[in-house]
Each structure stands twice: as structure tokens, then as C-alpha cells.
Structure 1
Amino acid sequence: MECTFFDYLPPSHMGSSLFFCLFLILSVICSPVSASHSVTWTYGVNYGRIANNLPAPESVVTLLKAAKINHIRIYDADHDVLQAFKGSGIEIIIGLPNGFLTEMSMGEDRAMNWVKENVQAFLPGTRIRGIAVGNEILGGTTMELWEALLPAAKNVYVALYRLGLHRTVQVSSPHSEAVFANSFPPSACIFRPDVAPFMKPLLEFFSQIGSPFYINAYPFLAYKNDPQHIDINYALFKDNPGIYDAKTKLHYDNMFEAQVDAAYTALDKAGFGKMEVIVSETGWASSGDPDEAGATVKNAKTYNKNLRKRLAKKKGTPLRPHMAVRAYIFALFNENSKPGPTSERNFGLFKPDGSIAYDIGFTGLVPSAAASSSLLSFKDIAAQGWLRSSYLLVSTASAVVLLQYIGL
């Protein structure tokens, strides 16, 4: 059944929101379409915090500024984090955790309260630019959440609209590769038959409000699951024969771009070929269990370094050559409290002390011997008049900048 925009409003608004709907539709139609020439950023990082040894959020801001990372995604709406990023200029996608979806799907008032407390209260100082409603819901094992995802997303968006924040804060929902029935070759990709009835109305809604499609794309996971048949050089952006997609007559020399184009293909077949694909997670584990093929520091360094270079070019994929690829790398730190296989705890680009985990061209923070094991915040030190000189900032790409902290 085809959906109209009126299907996305809660019943209480059906009779009283005609002007609201028409205005919203017109505003979406008139919105600019993202294209490679207008893209101002392509590289972001996921800031996961399931660990007991991470630096304070204020110190993370210092680290991100040193590394010149201006876009991050967090998995909740932690107030300490949001307050720490106030005035930093770093743009943030916050998360509405999976455990909140059922509650948010039950009514606008609950969503309104959540948005007021976790979004409006921190704007404009903290640059919240998106809300990820749930993470990897469709294709997962909890059918109750499949059913709650769309109404929760609707209610969050209505709350943003009523508060006048809908042009500032985008609503989205990241998906895993589990939403696809197959993704090889890219031209064969379709949504799973059981996922499609839930995915299509969600995409229809996101299309109406101008949201992109977020996919968590991991060549590491594909290689780990089938190392016998996947060329690791293809997964790592290294020289390799690549693959040829006979249907589209396109050649792929790396799996990352093939995964992105597989998502574009599935969207096109579902009727949403103009929707932008953004990679909400990708990365490579630096350590793993014996049965986790490819999980090494060398491979993690190679993947992340080559991916960073590729994203910096702001170019498209073979299937969408004029749509620059954007991606959020997983993750900022290793997360030592995450459950699951060893790889889950070893995706970090930086160590908890702020130094780099391996060299991919970033600047890290190296505390002086006198500093404590947890990073100090430059902002806090300066505010208290303690700044004489501060950390040793080491540029892994070029010069060394000295700011060595000397205690009073």
C-alpha cells in the first residue's frame, strides 16, 4: 500500500495539521540535494563509551580538536558529554537507545519530553545535528522493536518540528548489513523479504523529511566470516584484481565502495534511488580471538589509513560517482567493557591516554610524566589560570607542537 505524508502523523493530528503537512512537504521539496560539490565534510568518528578507563569528555574534546575531527556520533544523550562539547564547534549525532523505542512509540508527549531534556536544553551551544533513533533494529531479533521503530521516529520528528528544531536536527536510524538478503555483487542487493514491509514505510517517512539512509558497513566482518573466499587486499583498499559487476559493468577495487553501492542498489529497487547513503559505522579490529581472521594492528592501520585517504578525496562510488561518500569510523577508543568476542573491544583509533593506537596520520595527545593517567582538559586548566604550557601534542603526520604542562 502506498503511503502519504498524512500516514506519518499521529491520529490526534490528522484533522488539525493540514497546514503543517503542506508546509513540511514544501520545505522538503525545496531543500537542497546533497552532492559532491556541496559536501563540506566526509569523515566522522563514533565515540563509544562502554569502558571503565576512558578520559573525561572535556579531554575528549581536546583530543578531537588536536586530531581535527569535527563530526562525531554517540550512542546516547549523556548530559556530561553534551555539556563538554558546548562551544567546541564539533557536530554531534546523538542516539536514542534501543531501550527507549517502545516508550517513544507510545505518544508524542514522551518524545517531546525526551527532546526537550536531551536536545533543546543543549542547543545552540552544543551542535547537535542529528538523532539516531535506535541502532541496528531491523534485521535484529526483537520484533517488538521492529514495530516500534517507525512510530518512535515519527514522534521524535514531530517533537522537533513543534519546537522549531527540525531544520537543525535530523532524524535517522542506522542499519546493519543484516537488512539485506544479499549484497554480492552490488547490483544484486535487495532488502530481506521479512524486513521490507518495515523498511519501506520507514524509508518513505525519511524520504519525506529529507533524511539519508545510514548503514553500518564493515569489510572486516565480511572478511572475518569468509577469509577463504575474500581477498584481504580487496577488503583493505590494497592493490588487487577487484571484482566486476556484469549487470552494471562496473569494477570495484575495494569492498567498502561495493558495500555502499549495494545499499544504493537496494534503495533503488525499493523505490528510493535518490536517497543518500551515509556509512554510520565502519572500521577494523586491531585484535581478536584466534578464529577472528584479519584482526591485527597491521590490518587495522592499513584499513583506517587507506579509508581516511579515500574519504578525504570527497569522491563518489562507481554507481554514484557524483555523491561524495561520508562515513563515521568505529571507534574513537577501545571499549574494554563491551561484551562479545575480543574484536568488539579493539576498534579504537586512540588509547585512553590520548596517544594514537597506530599511525594513520592523526595527531594524538601524549601526557607529560607529571600528568595523571587521565587526560586534563585544556579548557579547564586555562579557566583556572593553571596554564603555563600544557600537553605535548605529537603530530604523527608532520611537525611536533610543544605544549608541555608544568605544575605550579
Structure 2
Amino acid sequence: SAATAPLKFGINYGQIANNLPHPAQVSGLLRSLNVNRVKLYDADPAVLTAFAGTGVEFTISNGDLLNMSDARNARAWVAQNVQPFLPDTRITCVILGNEVLSGTDASAMQSLLPAMQAVHQALVDLGLDDQVNVSTSQSVNVLASSYPPSAGAFREDLAQYMRPLLDFLAELGSPFLINAYPFFAYKASPGSVSLPYVLFEPNPGAHDPGTNLTYDNMLYAQIDAVYAAMEAMGHKDIAVRISETGWPSAGDADEVGATVQNAATYNGNLMKRVAAGQGTPLRPDVPVDVLVFALFNENMKQGQASERNYGLFYPNGTSVYDLGFGGASFGPSSPTASGFSSSSKPTISFPVGVVVLFAAFLL
């Protein structure tokens, strides 16, 4: 049952940078921190090979929706990027597309569900569907309304895509994956959005008159708004999972709130709640499932400075800030090859309890 499921914590391993350590070093780092669920934005064979035999469970991604909607292409991709790595590397989910439905690419929107269906069928044909599930991650911007959470509703212009997508996720037993960043709401309206409310710090909370529930943080309100939006489309049978959330430790001058202190507070408080197995007010018995963004600062990401400063770690292996979970546990075996210096040990380590079984993520 959800109440007794293993705790759910993982990390997004983005690689839009030219100075990141070798995947073998990253493997050692994550194992030392008891993080054993990772999401990639591609299907990098170097990473999948480096994590063979570690038990770390991977979500891999494919954004080439037009090609993947062709059954032959989907099967060829699965045969090349999934099948050879199983079972040594535990690939458990393929994400098709990232935030496609809040974008402007109509052909990608139209190809999203056919691509998911084709990749799932390829997994079935190759006998892998019992190990590997299929989903897609969307932005909270697919919601037309998110407050109060009980009034959550998807954008009407997306209904033509959202209804069949939800039907397919329910059929597979796959979760609805959402990228949620309370930082964006605070940055946009620092005068009207409470900083303690977005940082999981003590605050009076926000009352939802529709359910009579009180929310002490924005992330949980966003999760429950997605549940309400799905229920409005006839689905109470799909779990909501956070495929990305995080807080930048630095930003441009106009990016209010992008500080080391706020980033440490947001991620530290979130991880403590995840470690406690906490659920949202609407789903108190379903532990919140989170993939934190991101593992490293990525120096080649486009956009404002915050985009390059979401990492928990610098590329040299030192932590950007202390998350308050105790002493260092990372000593690289090959510092010269990795770019990590032997003296630069991070002070971050996660509670031993935060060891994740991805199977629970797919229930």
C-alpha cells in the first residue's frame, strides 16, 4: 500500500555543461549519498553503463516525438537504448517529451500520445513492459487554475490532448509527472507570495474553502490542484509525481529570491518532508514523490542566470550548500580522472531512510 511504500526521493541528472565529472564518479557520489533514483534527459549510454550493477533506478527521456510516433523507429530506439542495458542497469521508466503541452510546438503536441503508445508497444513486443513504464512530464502551466487547489483545472485548449493522455496513463498504471517550481511564482510576485509559504517554513497557511483543507506550502497545493484537475476529467486513478522541483542558489539581479540560503531552505525542508513520508492534504496517505532538480550546476544552459544555478553540487563534486543532513561521505577513488579534488568533500548526505525503490513510484 502507499502508506507502507518505500520513501521516494530522486535527482535530475542534467548534462547541459562542458565541465561535468565522468559518470563513474557521479555513480560513486550518488551511492555515497543514498540516492538511488535518477532521471536523465536523454538515454546517455555512458551514464547507463557507469551505473550498471549499482541498483540505481533510471528514468530516461526521449524528446523526438515525431520520430517515436512511428512504430519502427520506436522499436529501434528501445532496442538500442533500453534493452541492452537491462537488467544490469535498472531502467524503469521512459519519459516522452518534457513540458510539451505548455509549449508552442503543435506537431509535438499531436505526436505526444502516439509516441508514448509506440514506445510502450515496443516495450511490450520486446518483453520489457513489466520492467519499464512510459509517461510524460508536464509543467504546472498546463493548469488554467491552480488556486485554491480544489478549483484546479486543465487549460481548455489542451483538453483534446489531456483527456486521451490521462486515459492512457490510467490504462498503464503510470503516474502523471509534473514539473513544479514555487520559485517561479515567488519571483513573479514577491510582494504577494509569502516566502515562508514557498520555502516550507512556518506560516499561517492558505485555506481551501472547497475542501476545508489548509496548505502550509505551495508545492503541495500545486500537487493537489493537479489531482483536482484530473478528477474534473474523470480520473481519480492516476498518481501525481513531481518530476522536477528545485530552487536556484544564484540568479540575475532581477531574480528575486535566488539565493544560497533560500535554495538550501527549500530543498532541505522538502527532503525532510519526503524522508518523513509526508503526503499532501488531499492525499495524506500517499507519500510525496519527488525528483529534485538538479544534481549539478549546468554552465551551458540558456536563459537567465538562475538556469545555471539549480545544482546541489558544483561540477568539481563540492556541495553548493549544506542541506543539514550530516557529514561528508564522498571520497573519490580517482580524483585526477574525475576533476574532483581529494580535499573538496561535500558536507551533504541524505538520511539512510531515503533509499528509493522505483517500483513504488509506478504503483
Give TM-score scaled by structure 1 length. 0.82
Map of 2:356 onto structure 1:
none
Map of 2:359 onto structure 1:
none
Is the contact made by 2:319 and 2:346 (CA closer than 8 Å) also made in structure 1? no
Asked whether 1:277 is paired with 2:240, we answer yes
- Aligned equivalent of 1:296, options 259, 263, 271: 259
Asked whether 1:67 is paired with 2:33, we answer yes
Mapping of residues 237-316 of structure 1, within 5 Å: 237-316=200-279
Map of 2:161 onto structure 1:
198
Mapping of residues 13-32 of structure 1, within 5 Å: none
Q: Determine the C-alpha separation between the residues in 2 that align with 1:207 and 1:158.
A: 16
Partner SS state of residue 157, structure 2: coil
Map of 1:58 onto structure 2:
24
- Cα distance, 1:143 vs. partner? 0.7
Asked whether 1:365 is paired with 2:320, we answer no
Q: Calculate the aligned-residue CA RMSD, in Å.
A: 1.9
Mapping of residues 136-155 of structure 1, within 5 Å: 136-155=99-118
Map of 1:133 onto structure 2:
96
Q: Determine the C-alpha separation between the residues in 2 that align with 1:266 and 1:282.
A: 20
Is the contact made by 2:318 and 2:344 (CA closer than 8 Å) also made in structure 1? no
Asked whether 1:43 is paired with 2:9, we answer yes
Larger Rg: 1
- What amino acid does structure 2 have at the position aligned with 1:48? G
Is the contact made by 1:353 and 1:365 (CA closer than 8 Å) also made in structure 2? no
Q: Determine the C-alpha separation between the residues in 1 that align with 2:143 and 2:195.
A: 22
- Aligned equivalent of 1:174, options 124, 137, 157: 137
Map of 1:215 onto structure 2:
178
Structure 1 residues 375 and 89: alpha-carbon distance in aligned structure 2, compared to 1, 3 A threshold: farther
Q: Determine the C-alpha separation between the residues in 2 that align with 1:215 and 1:364.
A: 31
Q: Structure 1, residues 134-184: CA drift from partner, whole Å, max 9, x if none?
A: 111112110110000000000000000111111110100000011100101
Map of 1:164 onto structure 2:
127
Map of 1:96 onto structure 2:
62
Q: Determine the C-alpha separation between the residues in 1 that align with 2:85 and 2:228.
A: 38
Structure 1 residues 392 and 352: alpha-carbon distance in aligned structure 2, compared to 1, 3 A threshold: closer
Q: Determine the C-alpha separation between the residues in 2 that align with 1:356 and 1:63.
A: 11
- Cα distance, 1:351 vs. partner? 1.3
- Cα distance, 1:323 vs. partner? 1.0
Q: How many residues are paired up?
A: 348
List runs of 5+ in structure 1 lacking aligned partners.
1-33, 378-389, 399-408
Percent of aligned pairs sharing the same letter: 49
- What amino acid does structure 2 have at the position aligned with 1:160? L
Map of 2:317 onto structure 1:
354
Q: Determine the C-alpha separation between the residues in 1 that align with 2:251 and 2:92.
A: 34
- Cα distance, 1:108 vs. partner? 1.1
Is the contact made by 1:365 and 1:391 (CA closer than 8 Å) also made in structure 2? no
Q: Determine the C-alpha separation between the residues in 2 that align with 1:203 and 1:265.
A: 13
Is the contact made by 1:236 and 1:306 (CA closer than 8 Å) also made in structure 2? yes
List runs of 5+ in structure 2 lacking aligned partners.
351-363
Q: Determine the C-alpha separation between the residues in 2 that align with 1:357 and 1:366.
A: 17
- What amino acid does structure 1 have at the position aligned with 2:59? I
Map of 1:77 onto structure 2:
43
Is the contact made by 2:186 and 2:198 (CA closer than 8 Å) also made in structure 1? yes
- Cα distance, 1:391 vs. partner? 7.8
- What amino acid does structure 1 have at the position aligned with 2:241? I
Is the contact made by 1:355 and 1:365 (CA closer than 8 Å) also made in structure 2? no
Q: Structure 1, residues 25-84: CA drift from partner, whole Å, max 9, x if none?
A: xxxxxxxxx6122x2131100000000110000000000011110001000001111111
Q: Determine the C-alpha separation between the residues in 2 that align with 1:237 and 1:302.
A: 8
